[in-house]
Structure 1
């Protein structure tokens, strides 16, 4: 019975997310352990009874300096309208404090072709896997080009077509580099990690870890900066 209920939830969640804009809310406090390992940081997020997960920021696509005092972790889908709206709201906050904020990005496609949690793929998410893989491939091949590529995928109300997304990726890192990166095990590994975290949180996207809380969904009527100041180290 439990597996059946879980399967039904992941069929219903994307539909509800498309039909009813999710409200921004907080859940239980998240305990974060920050360790310095040689030249890298390792973050451990404790989610209570749900479990915990570890992140070495340098292994993930990210925006901002790795040594920034404020760290956010974001689960999102390039084809998710609420994710795109949150990204647009985050951008001016990050640009104002470029050296103060690190945003670790974990693309989480709402598409059954690359996520075992999604049973029914909605029309607006049909290219979610392609866009997520392209973004991860760009980061894998040339991390210095990732920020420009991520913003390209996120600009506007709708994502670019897979053809335009691939063409821009090729212009940034080259056709051969892109093809090699797309075949690398890193792509599947990162999608598996984001999918597992999505399963643990069990909430509509976007999901934003602030360091002390989890913000689920996004409501554009709420002042995101005020929320982040309340639930993170952002000044």
Structure 2
């Protein structure tokens, strides 16, 4: 009797091992409910990933997700949305195509196909789940905005893994290897994103029609008299140029920090500094618009931006770096384009974080109209961090005085500038800001390198 106990225990262990091997080697046809559930999840993830990949390649805006905490456009234009310059959603498209093919083989009559398919699905679901943990963490703790489309894709990946583990509970030991491979692949993706240089987050638009500098005379500026905009008697219409309203009559002419305030009577004698905008279809006389830097520098470009836009704020740091490299040869015509429908009918939403955009832009232009020497200081201050309209107004009053600011705002000239900026913005295709406009090229989206801006300026 004593000798038979080990024998019985050995038989029991052998039976358990044989049962496990049988379960692992013959998975059987999956139930239709499992097949339908996994196919639905993979199809949803594939379609949404495909849409996000399209948005990433085209630099277009995501439908119904552009404001507040849930801001897909913000998430998809960060460095974390790409790997080696390719939208990460394109990798998801590839992954879920593989998953859908594998799901099909789970209904195959051949056991070897089913085993391979289950292994591929387990590894793919593990990759998707690892990526989900990473990208959700990035959105919550680093970006500060969420992309609902992305979250749905991540949820599909996690649910696929849960369904696989539920369907094959006795095969966990064997599928653990494929899960490990999937997790390692996901960690490799994370390492590449975290430890390689940030990919380019802007799109380059090229206009070959501007191979030579624009030399056409600009429109004469309308002159503001007692709050009314009246055309200069010498105005001549030219289709390929664009004019700015001049703010105040009989003001002295002076240069300061590279900017010029024009006296109405002297504007005809000043040599125009023409800067192409809107893909070269129009030109601006930089002397009649807010300029950050030197209006007479060798490299004068234009920028469309929104003071409430974080990508614009980040790009301004690169603009400052470019100025440090180019010195007094560099100037930027500043064209604030508030992305809020209260003053911009081309804006896609009334997102809460854009609520003060129109007022802040008007304050900045008004300060330039009153005293160009103060504009650079206010512009840099506005882009140092996120500001409210109340904070911006207080700072503007400190720089030019409360009474002068109120008087200038009441004239409405700043609003006319912004309205014309919006026309230029529409001509440039609207959509994403910032837009940094060079004679033959426009950089659309956040630019993180001052060297990049300096390089394009020198071309």
Report TM bin, short chain: 0.7 to 0.9
Larger Rg: 2
Query: Are residue 207 (structure 1) and residue 435 (structure 2) matched?
Result: yes
CA distance in 2, matches of 1:134, 1:200: 24
Separation (CA, whole Å) in 2 of partners of 1:70 and 1:92:
14
Q: Report the CA distance between 1:47 and its aligned residue.
A: 5.5
Task: Please give the root-mean-square deviation of Cα atoms over the aligned residues, in Å.
Answer: 2.6
Q: Distance in 2 between matches of 1:134 and 1:198?
A: 19
> Is 1:138 the counterpart of 2:367 in the alignment?
yes
1:193 and 1:233 mapped to 2: Cα distance? 28
Query: Cα offset for 1:11?
Result: 7.0
Q: In 2, are the aligned partners of 1:75 and 1:206 still within 8 Å (CA)? A: yes
String of CA shifts for 1:123-181, please: whole Å, max 9, x gaps. 1111101110100110011111111111111103x2x2222211111111011110111
In proportion to residue count, which structure has more strand?
1
Asked if 1:33 corresponds to 2:211, the answer is: no
Which of 400, 403, 411 aligns to 1:173? It is: 400
Counterpart in the other structure of 1:4? none
**Superposed displacement of residue 61, structure 1:** 1.0
Q: Secondary structure at the match of 1:140?
A: helix
* More divergent stretch after superposition (67-76 vs 54-63): 54-63
1:93 corresponds to: 322
Aligned length: 220
> Partner residue of 1:216?
444
Structure 2 length normalisation: TM-score? Answer: 0.44
1:226 aligned residue:
452
Q: Distance in 2 between matches of 1:34 and 1:185?
A: 31
1:26-65 correspondence to structure 2 within 5 Å: 26-29=204-207, 31=210, 32-34=213-215, 38-43=269-274, 45=276, 52-65=281-294
The answer to whether the Cα contact below 8 Å between 1:69 and 1:101 also exists between their aligned partners in 2 is yes
Query: More deviation in 109-118 or 16-25?
Result: 16-25
Give me the whole-angstrom Cα distance separating, in 1, the residues matched to 2:285 and 2:65. 29
Closer/same/farther in 2, CA of residues 12 and 68 from structure 1, 3 Å limit: farther
Which stretches in structure 2 are left out of the alignment for 5+ residues?
A: 1-60, 79-200, 218-267
Distance 1:20 1:134 in 2: 30
Q: Which runs of 5+ in 1 are unaligned?
A: 1-8
The 1:98–1:219 alpha-carbon spacing in structure 2 relative to 1, beyond 3 Å, is closer
Correspondence for 1:24: 202
Does structure 2 conserve the Cα–Cα contact (< 8 Å) formed by 1:10 and 1:119?
A: no
What is the TM-score normalised by the length of structure 1? 0.83
Distance (Å, rounded) in 2 between the aligned partners of 1:80 and 1:226:
20
State how far apart, in whole Å, the 1-side matches of 2:452 and 2:311 are: 18
Asked which structure has the greater RCO (Cα within 8 Å, sep 6+), the reply is 1
